[in-house]
Amino acid sequence: MGLPLVSSALLDFPHNRVFPCMEFMGSHLSASKSYAPALKFNCQHFHKVGSTLPGVILCANRKFRGDEAVWKREQLTQNVDFPPKFPKKKKKPYPIPFKEIKHAARTDWKLAHMGIEKPLEPPKNGLLVPDLVPVAYGVFDAWKLLIKGLSQLLHVIPAHGCSECSEVHVAPIGHCILDCEGPTSSQRHSSHAWVKGSINDILVPIESYHLFDPFGRRIKHQTRFEYDRIPAVVELCIQAGVDIPEYPSRRRTNPVRILGRKILDRGGHIEEPKPWRSAESSSLLDFDTYRVCERFPRPSLADLPKIAEETLYAYETVRKGVRKLMKKYTVKACGYCSEVHVGPWGHNAKLCGAFKHQWRDGKHGWQDATVDEVFPPNYVWHVRDPSGPPLRSSLKRYYGKTPAVVEVCMQAGAKISDEYKPMMRLDIVIPDSDETRMII
C-alpha cells in the first residue's frame, strides 16, 4: 500500500501554530512482506528554525543537512514548584558536589607536598579583575536606587510582617494562612501576629564584616568589634573594585603567593588606614536602610508606576550583577545559619547559634555561598486583588509566590517579566471555598 503524495502548499503552516504531526511507528520497510504502516497522530507546539522555504517535508530515517528545515518542540514553562525550605535541624547542602571539593583539596595537598605553589588567577591572587569593575559599580548604583525606590513605594503599598516568624505579606491586611512557625504559634493555632512592615522585611538585610585586606589576618572572636558590618552586596562590590572613602580596601599590584594553606607572600605589608567617619555622612546613608523611609518623601500617585519600573529594574540589575561577581570572587556562607562572609575564607567569630552549635563551639560551618544567601529573594504570597478578601488557608495550594520586591513593584503598577510568572500560577483559577470539596 503506497502512501498518498502530499502537496507542499498544504504544509505551509503559520509560524508557531498548532498542527497535527504524523509519525511512523515502523522503522524498516520490506518489499517481500506485507506491511501496514502504523500512523500516530499528535498535536504539538512547534516553531520553525533556520528555513526560508515554505512547506518542507521531513522524511523519516534520514539525516538532515544544515540548510534544511528543522521543527523543534516549543518549551513552555508554567506553574513551577516553590523553592524548598531547608530544615533548621540539618546542614544546608553543598552548592558544589562534595566529591569535587575533596578532589580539589587533594590536588592542592599534592602540589604543597611537592613544594609547588598553587597557581592562582585574579581575583584568587588578590588582584582585581578589570572587566568586573564596571559590573561592581553598576551593582552598587543599582543597590542605592533599589533602597530609594522601595522606601518611596512603601509609603503607598502596605506591607505586613509577622512579629513571631519571618513571614511577610504585601497587602492592606495580613493573610489568614495558618503556617506560622514562631515560638508561640501553638497558642495562636499557627496564625500570624501581623504588624506594620518596613523595608527590612522586604529587602532582607544580610550583613558582612568589612575587611581592608581580605587576605590579611582572620577575624577572631575577641577582635570582632574592631570591624564594621555593612551589607554583603556592598562589601562584594568594594572587593570587586568600588572605592568608598569611608570603607577603604587594599588594591594590590603584586599577587599573593600560596603554598597549600600557607601564604608565602601577601604582596607586601601596608598599614591599614583608619579614616574618620561621621554618622551624618551622605555616602553611608545611600546604601543603608536605617530610617530610610524618613529620608525620602511620599511620591505622588502619578509617579508611582515610573518609580516601580525603576525599582524593579534595579532589583534585576543587582541580582544579575551579584551572580556575575560571585563566579569570580569568593563568598562564604554558614551551612547552619544565615551568616555570610565575603573573602577567601570565613572568620573565626563564635556567633553561630544554630543546630549543634555546641559541638562546634559556636563557630560557623563555612561553605561556598549561593546568590540566594547573599541577596535573598524573600518569597511572599502573590495577591491578585489587593482590595479583595484575604488569602485563606483552605485555598493555599491555588496561590502562587513571587519575590517580595517584585510583589511591591507589581502592585505599584510595574510590568513584570515572564521570569516570575511561572511561580505566580496566574493560569490557575482560584475556586470559591464552597467549590474546593468538589475538586479532586
Decide which of 174 and 434 is more confident: 174
Confidence band of 116 (pLDDT split at 50, 70, 90): confident
Is residue 218 within 8 A of residue 207, CB to CB? The reply is no
Identify which has the larger pLDDT, 18 or 143: 143
Q: Does residue 379 lie within any of the structural domains? A: no
Instruction: Name which of 67-71, 277-281, 324-328, 347-351 the model is least confident about.
Output: 67-71
On whether both 235 and 359 belong to a single domain, the answer is yes
Boundaries of domain holding 319: 98-159+198-374
Residues 20 and 125 in one domain: no
* Whether residue 241 is found in the same domain as residue 123: yes
Q: What's the domain count of the chain? A: 2
Same-domain pairing of 104 and 69: no
Instruction: Out of 55-59, 264-268, 337-341, give the one with best mean pLDDT.
Output: 337-341
Same domain, 222 and 355: yes
Kindly tell me if the per-residue pLDDT of 17 is higher than 80.
no
Residues 235 and 365 in one domain: yes
- Looking at the whole model, is its pTM more than 0.85? no
Residue 173 maps to a domain: no
Residues 274 and 341 in one domain: yes
Q: How confident is the model at residue 283 (pLDDT cuts 50, 70, 90)?
A: low
- 115 and 47 in a common domain: no
pLDDT recorded at residue 48: 40
Residue 133 lies in a domain: yes
